Each structure stands twice: as C-alpha cells, then as structure tokens.
Chains A and B, each alone.
Chain A
Amino acid sequence: DTGVSQNPRHKITKRGQNVTFRCDPISEHNRLYWYRQTLGQGPEFLTYFQNEAQLEKSRLLSDRFSAERPKGSFSTLEIQRTEQGDSAMYLCASSRREGTGELFFGEGSRLTVL
C-alpha cells in the first residue's frame, strides 16, 4: 500500500495525558499537512511542512500542540495535557510540491479524551 498511513487509528486517553500521532506520507510527496475534523464538520487546517520545514501553523494550533517532520519523511503530531475539546479526528495528507496537486489523505487518527 503506497497511500498515506496514520497510526494509531484510535486513541482513548484521560484528560491531562500526552498523546502522539504518526503520519507516513506517500514517499515521493514532499508536502505534508495536518487537519483536524470534529463530528459533522469539515476538516480544519492545522499545519503543513515542505520537507522538514514547518511553513505554516493555524491559530487553532495552541502551544499544547507540536508537529515535527525531522527528516522530511514521516511526521508526528503531539498534544500535551489533553483536554476534552481535543477530541476529534486528526487527518494527515500529503502532496507534491509542483503544480496544482490535490491532497491525498490518510484514514485519520481518532482521539477521544475522557
């Protein structure tokens, strides 16, 4: 399978705990995006990388959230001191830099904060 891979697919945690999600993009894609989707809503942009550089962060990304892409391949999204409002589906997508390419999405990591 050469699609975008995310894990874990589901994570249940208690409020205050830290969680980390991993995304492996399509190998030839140098852009990687994180989105958040809550129930009944469209995906909301969080951040994106071009290779290892984080080029843009949304205001939605509070200081409890941090994303990395250390070698320009996989990426991690960490949420510290989770709150119930963090419960959502976290979607990762990748694309080529060139042209007008669409984003290719993974199946998402669903977070439930109790």
Chain B
Amino acid sequence: AQSVAQPEDQVNVAEGNPLTVKCTYSVSGNPYLFWYVQYPNRGLQFLLKYITGDNLVKGSYGFEAEFNKSQTSFHLKKPSALVSDSALYFCAVRDSRAAGNKLTFGGGTRVLVKP
C-alpha cells in the first residue's frame, strides 16, 4: 500500500519570504514522488518529480523539493514566494514496483501568499 500525508491544511506566507509545504509518504518499495499545483477551477498541473539521483529536484516556477529517505519526506520549497503562488498543492507517491503509473495523492495544502 502507498500513502501520503500533508500535515498542514494551510500555509500562510508573506510575499518574498521562503515557502515550504510539507509531505511525508509511505510505500513498500522505492518511491516515485510528485508535486502538483491546482488553481481555482483548473486541473492539476505538474510541478516536479523525484525518481532517482540527486535528492534536490528543481521544477517549474522556481519550485524545488528535497527527497529525504530516512525521514520519508519530500517537502516542496520556494526561496521567495509570489502572490501568484497562492493555490492548492498536492504531493503524490507511486511505488516504483507497482504496475501502471497510478498515483496516490495527499489531502492537499492551501498556500496563501500575502502581499
């Protein structure tokens, strides 16, 4: 079984400050990890993924995420948040041994960036 936890329902941050959105996961095998963003009335947009290799992954719109195997975490970060980053963020996991590309999503974290 695979699961994802996003412990914060909402994160508030001032524009220009660093942004972190937390994610922990559980899988039987090696994880493939993803971050998606959802704007109001829109579908999910892919931000970045970790498959293997460097633990620090860079993605779209200046976001990055750090894979930490010992802590089973994959936190999303942005050094300087913008008001336009306000959205719903989802972490997702897939067991590398599982057939198909089926992803299991966390419950989401709403990010509010204030000017």
Contact = CB atoms under 8 A, between A and B. Distances in A.
B43 A108 contact: yes
Select the residue from B44, B96, B106 with max chain A CB neighbours within 10 A. Answer: B44
A33 interface: yes
B49 interface: yes
A71 B44 CA distance: 26
Interface residues of A, number: 26
A101 B96 CA distance: 12
A41 B106 CA distance: 8
B100 A100 contact: no
Nearest to B52: A100
Contacts of B108: 40-42
Contact of B103 (A45, A55, A106, A107): A45
B102 A43 contact: no
A55 B103 CA distance: 14
Nearest to A4: B43
Nearest to B104: A45
B2 to A, nearest CB: 10
Nearest to B106: A42
A107 B40 CA distance: 10
Nearest to A45: B102
A101 B42 contact: no
Given A31-B100, A42-B105, A42-B106, A105 B49 contact: no
A105 B42 CA distance: 9
